């Protein structure tokens, strides 16, 4: 798929003029899709096979979250993955974990949006973890830690942001995700609207903000908790 077509498909999710998707970011996404399609023939990474739907369903949703967490003006949009953390300002202080990362969504697209964050991908399936390692190498992404382990075994209170999307056993995974957060950390969930009540009841100590509808979806939402200090992650 051409970078121009990727840019066109992502426009509804980024909410900026199309040139906001820099050529380097679109090229990374194109490479990512090629690897995903190749691996998907032997490892069940996604039920979506059409590359354009992969862009809208996976990358679009993930970048919608990325822009929410790191708005234009604080993120380095589409810059080289080798760029120094200082170039993205305060985002270089953020430790973000993607629990049940699977094919790398939303964690890797968030890293592509703002390369200066420290990213941990938690994926207990070793074949999927191997895929994540190949994508990371192919895109020359730095400061990524791939944990092929169950999240319950990781140290608590280690991350500023924990993301969750399309995990099995949501009722068990969400409290584990909350356990991984620092005291002022935030949960960022990409879920179905039918899961909103469950999310709030499973982690009652977290103050969730109003859900945001995902563009081009009738039922998917972004649900994020407020930092306990009342501040956005820095």
* Residue extents of the structural domains in the chain: 3-224
Closest to 91 measured CA to CA, from 69, 61, 107, 109:
69
Diameter of the chain measured on Cα atoms = 45
CA 131 from chain center: how many Å? Answer: 16
pTM of whole model > 0.95? no
DSSP 153: G
The 10s digit of each residue's pLDDT in 52-100 is: 999 999 999 999 999 999 986 344 444 443 333 333 335 668 999 999 9
The 10s digit of each residue's pLDDT in 136-172 is: 999 999 999 999 999 999 999 999 999 999 898 999 9
Domain 3-224 has CATH 3.40.50.150: yes
5: left (phi over 0), alpha (psi -120 to 50) or beta: alpha
């Amino acid at each position: 798929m051409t970078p121009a077509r990727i840019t066109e498909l992502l426009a509804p999710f980024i909410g900026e003029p199309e040139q906001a998707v820099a050529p380097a970011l679109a090229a990374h996404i194109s490479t990512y899709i090629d690897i995903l399609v190749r691996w998907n023939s032997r490892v069940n990474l996604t039920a979506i096979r059409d590359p354009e739907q992969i862009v809208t369903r996976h990358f679009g949703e993930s970048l919608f979250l990325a822009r929410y967490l790191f708005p234009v003006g604080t993120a380095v949009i589409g810059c080289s993955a080798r760029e120094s953390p200082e170039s993205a300002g305060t985002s270089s202080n953020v430790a973000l974990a993607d629990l049940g990362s699977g094919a790398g969504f939303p964690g890797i697209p968030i890293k592509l949006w703002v390369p200066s964050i420290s990213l941990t991908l938690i994926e207990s399936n070793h074949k999927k973890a191997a895929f994540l390692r190949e994508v990371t190498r192919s895109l020359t992404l730095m400061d990524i830690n791939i944990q092929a382990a169950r999240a319950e075994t990781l140290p608590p209170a280690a991350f500023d942001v924990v993301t969750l999307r399309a995990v099995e056993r949501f009722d068990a995974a969400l409290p584990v995700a909350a356990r991984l957060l620092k005291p002022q950390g935030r949960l960022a969930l990409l879920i179905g609207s039918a899961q909103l009540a469950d999310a709030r009841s499973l982690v009652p100590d977290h103050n969730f903000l109003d859900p945001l509808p995902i563009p081009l979806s009738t039922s998917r939402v972004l649900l994020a908790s407020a930092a306990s200090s009342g501040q956005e992650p820095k």
